């Protein structure tokens, strides 16, 4: 394995990025770096940046690119990220992608994996998703936990998030098309983009990604 195996995973909301990142992180011994987790972790740690994030979130505003970029920079300085990382939720824009190149330097992104899933399918996945407000466990609307409203992991409330409602999903997908899809051209121009059919079982998607990583001699 190279000094750092840095992978970016892109795809529409509901494409299965989180599931695949967790699996691949375990396979390759590198951390799953999710910006959502980074933001929550910074707030919980109470670091100077974390207090700044908390202040922004409390005000209801969006966390700025500069702040997110600095948090990602700090994350890559942690011991468990010295062998690389799987980026999920970052970069979201071309500006963030360019900043990531500066952060990683010579150990840059080795591969950008685009999970391709039809809009109809991700809409169905998101609208049927239910989430525990306490531990973040994900359920389907047909699961007993969703029907009862109680998480079997921690006893927390299982709810449908406001942004998983049909109108909110449409807006989220429009934002993805506008801001994130240009990243596909960015990574393709660097010879780093591969597209994987996300409309398969999780095991099949994982196998397809691992085969590509192996073929490219990255692990």
Catalytic residues: 17, 92, 129, 161, 172
Helix (H) or strand (E) holding 116: strand 111-116
Query: Which DSSP letter does residue 177 get?
Result: I
Inter-residue contact 49 to 71 (CB < 8 Å) = yes
CA distances from 133 to 74, 161, 165 (A): 27, 9, 16
| Distance from C-alpha of 114 to C-alpha of 193, rounded to nearest angstrom | 7
| Distance from C-alpha of 54 to C-alpha of 154, rounded to nearest angstrom | 25
| Distance from C-alpha of 215 to C-alpha of 193, rounded to nearest angstrom | 14
| Distance from C-alpha of 184 to C-alpha of 204, rounded to nearest angstrom | 22
């Amino acid at each position: 394995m190279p000094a750092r195996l840095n992978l970016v995973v892109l795809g529409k909301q509901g494409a299965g990025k989180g599931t695949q990142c967790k699996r691949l992180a375990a396979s390759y011994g590198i951390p799953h770096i999710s910006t959502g987790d980074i933001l929550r972790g910074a707030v919980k740690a109470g670091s100077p940046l974390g207090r700044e994030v908390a202040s922004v979130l409390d005000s209801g505003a969006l966390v700025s690119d500069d702040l997110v970029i600095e948090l990602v920079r700090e994350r890559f300085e942690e011991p468990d990220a010295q062998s690389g990382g799987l980026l999920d939720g970052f970069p979201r824009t071309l500006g963030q992608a360019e900043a990531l190149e500066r952060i990683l330097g010579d150990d840059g992104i080795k591969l950008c994996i685009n999970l391709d899933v039809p809009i109809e399918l991700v809409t169905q996945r998101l609208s049927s998703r239910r989430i525990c407000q306490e531990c973040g466990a994900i359920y389907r609307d047909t699961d007993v936990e969703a029907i009862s409203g109680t998480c079997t992991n921690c006893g927390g409330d299982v709810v449908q998030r406001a942004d998983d409602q049909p109108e909110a999903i449409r807006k989220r997908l429009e934002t993805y098309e506008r801001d994130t899809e240009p990243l596909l051209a960015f990574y393709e121009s660097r010879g780093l983009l591969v597209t994987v059919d996300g409309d398969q079982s999780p095991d099949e998607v994982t196998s397809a990604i691992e085969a590509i990583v192996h073929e490219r001699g990255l692990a």
